Structure 1
Amino acid sequence: MTVRSEAWGIYRQALPILLIALAGGLFAGLVLESIIESVERFPGLLVMVPVFLATRGNVYGALGGRISSGLHQGLIEPNFEWDERLVNAVLASFINGIGISIVIGFLTWGVLLGLGREPAQLYELVGIMLIAGLLTSVVLIAGLLLLIFAGFKRGYDPDNLVGPIVTTLGDVFGMLFLLFAVATVEVLA
C-alpha cells in the first residue's frame, strides 16, 4: 500500500465521523447556551463545563485506545461477550469518570472560595457533577463500545474512530446531562 492510498483510506474513514462530530459540537454549544441562565443560580457552573468535558475525553479516550489496541492485537473480540480485559477497562473508566466528576465539584468550590468568589453550595456543585458524570459514563461506555465494534466489523480502523466518537458523545451527552443535572439539583435544593 502506498503512502498516498493509506492517507486516503484514513481520510475516507475519518471524514464522516468528523462531520458528525462537528454537528455534535454545534449542538452541545446550543445546549450550553440554555445552561447560561442557570449560572446565576449556581455560581461556578460555567467554570466546571470545560473541565467536565475535557475529562470525558481524557477518561474515555483512554478506554477507546485500550479497546482499539485490544482489537488490533486480537486480545478483544468485537462482540458483547464476557471478556475480563474489556470488563476491567470499562470498570476502571467508569470509576475514573465518576470519581473525577466529584473531584471537579469539590475543586471548583474550593478554588472559587480561595479566589474570594461566592460559589454555589458545595453539595449543589458536587451533585451536578455526580449526576452528569454518572449519566455520561454510562452513555460514553455503551456508545463507544457499540460504535467501535460496529466500525471494526465493517473494516474501519478503530484508531480513526475513537477520538471523534469520544469527543462527540462526550460533548453532546455531557452538555445534555449537565442541563438535566442542573434541573434536578434545582428541584432538590
Structure 2
Amino acid sequence: MTFYKAKTIVKQGALSTTISVIVSSFAGAMLNAKLEALLAVPVLIVLVPGISTMAGNLGCMIGSKVATALHLGLVRPKLERNPYLGRNAAAILLIAVASSFYLTFLASAVSYMAGFANIAPLKVLEVTLLSGISLALVTLVVGIVVAFITYKYGWDPDNTTIPVITSIGDVTGVLLLLLAASLAGLI
C-alpha cells in the first residue's frame, strides 16, 4: 500500500486546483459572450447552475470510482475493455438521463414561478437531455484519461482528477448547453 505525505498531497492538489480555476474562468467568458441570447431565453440561465452541478457531480463520481479502482488494482491505466469501467460508464449515463429529467422539471417550474417567458417543457427537456448526455460522455472520457495519466506518472488521481474534471465540466457544460439550445432553436 502506498502512503502519501501531506506535502505531496498539497502540491498535487494546489497544481490541479490552480489549473481548474484558470479553465473554469472560460465558462464565465462564454456565458458573457452569449449574454444577450441567454437573456432572451431566461430558462437557459436557470439551467446553467444545474448543468454545472451535474458536470461536477458526474465528474466526482467517475473520478473517485476510477481512482479507487486503480488503487485496488481493479483496472490498469490502459484504455482497454474493462467490465468495471463499463458498468460505471453505464451508471453515469443513466444518472445523466435521470438528472436531465429532474433538471427540466426544476428549471421549468422556477421559470414559470419567476414569470419568465414560457418555453415548452419538452423543448427544455430536449436541451437538457442533449447537453446532459453529451456532458456525461465528455466527463467519462476526461475522468478516465486524467486518472490514468496521473496514476501512470506516480501522482494520486484522488488529488488531481476531480478538480480537473469539474473545471472542464464547467466549460464543457456551458458550451454544450449553448450548443443544445442552438440545435433546439432556442437561441
Query: Could you tell me the TM-score, scaled by structure 1's length?
Result: 0.88
Instruction: Give the deviation of 1:21 after TM superposition.
Output: 0.6
| 5+ long unaligned stretches in structure 1 | none
Once the two structures are overlaid, the 10-residue window that deviates more, 155-164 or 41-50, is 41-50
Query: What RMSD in Å do the two structures reach over aligned CA positions?
Result: 2.1
* Inter-CA distance 63–21: structure 2 relative to 1 (3 Å threshold): same
Contact persistence 1:78–1:149 (CA under 8 A): yes
State the shift of 1:114 in Å.
4.5
TM-score by length of 2: 0.89
Provide the rounded CA distance (Å) in 1 between the counterparts of 2:148 and 2:74: 13
Q: Which amino acid aligns with 1:167?
A: T
Q: CA deviation at 1:64?
A: 1.2
Runs of 4 or more off by more than 4 Å in structure 1? 114-117
Partner of 1:180: 179
Q: AA paired with 2:178? A: L
User: 2:15 corresponds to which letter in structure 1?
Assistant: P
Distance, in Å, in 2 between the alignment partners of 1:81 and 1:168 is: 26
In 2, the alpha carbon distance for the partners of 1:20 and 1:74 equals 28
Higher RCO, Cα 8 Å, sep 6+: 2
Q: Percent identity?
A: 27
Match of 1:74 in 2: 73
Q: Which residue of 1 aligns with 2:34?
A: 35
Structure 2 unaligned regions, length at least 5: none
Paired with 1:176 and 1:116, the residues of 2 have a C-alpha distance of 26
Task: Report how many residues are paired.
Answer: 185
**Could you say if the C-alpha distance between residues 40 and 123 of structure 1 is closer, same or farther in structure 2, counting changes exceeding 3 Å?**
farther
Change (3 A) 1:35 1:103: farther
Q: Give, in whole Å, the separation in 2 of the partners of 1:37 and 1:89.
A: 39
